[in-house]
Amino acid sequence: MKLNNYIIAGLVAVAVTVILSFFISLAVSGVIAIAAAVIIYFILASKKGDDKATDSTVTAQETDSIGDKGIESLLDINLLLRKSIVPVDIRDSFEQVIDQLLDLLPKVNEAGPDGELAWVINRMATEYLPEKSIKPYLDLDEANRHDKATMDAVEDSLVGMKSELADVESILSKRKTTEFNKKAKFLKQRFDV
């Protein structure tokens, strides 16, 4: 970052020197150019500092917003699930995963709000479970929803998800922060979030 500031300030100094040398002596042009370069450098440096302070505030706000979106998304999809004609076992399994995520979201966002694990769990709540799991299932016609092969495939997927969420819960409860990133990478690949 500082190197970019030096380069920009140097370019300003050269440009001012060249332009002013046509109108006033080269020595006076150089002094004015150096003063302009120093001013430009400090302006750029102060803007970079402001950006860093803003970024950390935005990250915390974004995390809170994402956590709220995750909870809202889960509640919305649960209502949609309840309104649809779905076999009871499938509905119960989906709701168990929803309950796990609702319980896990505040914990994971508190433990590492700007970490990869929090991002993955929030994506599971806002994207994977509602958009890639429940909605495609609900979009099937009633006969396909009750098809044994379809129900078995959905159940297998949900059993895997429940197991992974239980692992995340264990990592959080034991405060194994070194495992956060490992689990996040695994979940990203497994659930394609």
What is the per-residue DSSP string for 28-89? HHHHHHHHHHHHHHHHHHHHHHHHHHHHHHHHHHHHHHHHHHHHHHHHHHHHHHHHS---HH
Tens-digit pLDDT string for the chain (193 aa):
455 656 666 666 666 666 766 667 666 666 666 766 667 666 766 665 444 443 433 344 444 454 578 788 888 888 888 888 888 999 999 999 999 989 888 888 887 656 777 788 888 888 888 888 899 989 998 888 899 999 999 999 899 889 888 888 887 877 655 555 565 565 566 656 5
Domain ranges of the chain: 2-44, 58-191
At residue 169, the pLDDT reads 86
At residue 54, the pLDDT reads 39
The CA-based diameter of the chain, rounded to the nearest angstrom, is 90
Count other Cβ atoms within 10 Å, centred on residue 143: 8
What is the sign of the dihedral through the CA atoms of 55, 61, 65 and 68? positive
At residue 118, the pLDDT reads 79
At residue 99, the pLDDT reads 92
